[in-house]
Chain A
Amino acid sequence: GAVVSQHPSWVICKSGTSVKIECRSLDFQATTMFWYRQFPKQSLMLMATSNEGSKATYEQGVEKDKFLINHASLTLSTLTVTSAHPEDSSFYICSASKAGVSGEQYFGPGTRLTVT
């Protein structure tokens, strides 16, 4: 168990448009979901933490108006990159944790975003 999916796996969009990435926990209820960003050959950088039904908590330096996060249910969180620019091109990865299990996070396969 503990499978997390992401859709799409890769997306190309034009500068100035918005793109939505979905993250789903397939076989468990995710009380908390996390969104990370990863540049080539670098570690994962936490962007925000979201709890079902609550506003997301953004890490310092992450623009909340640019990276809109919605956690509408216990199995779905979405990240919308608004007015995307080439510098937003990156690998976006979500993870999810189960209720009552401290620390364990299960990661999705990632979404490669390229902004042209």
Chain B
Amino acid sequence: QQQVKQSPQSLIVQKGGISIINCAYENTAFDYFPWYQQFPGKGPALLIAIRPDVSEKKEGRFTISFNKSAKQFSLHIMDSQPGDSATYFCAANYGGATNKLIFGTGTLLAVQP
């Protein structure tokens, strides 16, 4: 129940295309769902996050779609650019006193010019 399943493991997209990464969870106690972007040798950077009271959140070219009933959420990167090439992690948070993040396994995105 503590797992967050992420797919695909790797993704190749042409410049200008849409990158889609999916995550699924089991524990309905999760109340915060962030996406992180990580470049090699760097720490993860918060990209965008959503709480379960909304079904979609958009920030620039990045959109989170959230399906509470299906317990799934996804990251869409519109107009993908070579600079978006990185590893993306979804995560889920219990909140409360624990406040721990459970991370997905990561998706290595390569955007080809």
* CB contact between A32 and one of B34, B42, B43, B99 (< 8 Å): that residue: B99
Majority-rule SS of A interface residues: strand
Q: Are A103 and B46 in touch, CB under 8 angstroms?
A: no
Total inter-chain residue pairs, C-beta < 8 Å:
60
Q: Are A107 and B95 in touch, CB under 8 angstroms?
A: no
Q: How large is the interface on A (under 10, 10 to 19, 20 to 34, 35 or more residues)?
A: 20 to 34
- A43-B105, A102-B99 in contact; A109/B43 too (CB < 8 A)? yes
- A106-B46, A110-B41 in contact; A49/B32 too (CB < 8 A)? no
- A49-B100, A97-B99, A107-B36 in contact; A43/B106 too (CB < 8 A)? yes
Interchain Cβ contacts under 8 Å between A and B, 13 examples: A4-B43, A34-B100, A34-B101, A42-B106, A43-B106, A102-B32, A103-B95, A104-B46, A105-B34, A107-B45, A107-B46, A110-B41, A110-B43
Q: How large is the interface on B (under 10, 10 to 19, 20 to 34, 35 or more residues)?
A: 20 to 34
* CB contact between A104 and one of B34, B89, B98, B105 (< 8 Å): that residue: B34
Residues of A within 8 A of B89 (CB): 43-44
Residue B19 at the chain A interface, CB threshold 8 Å: no
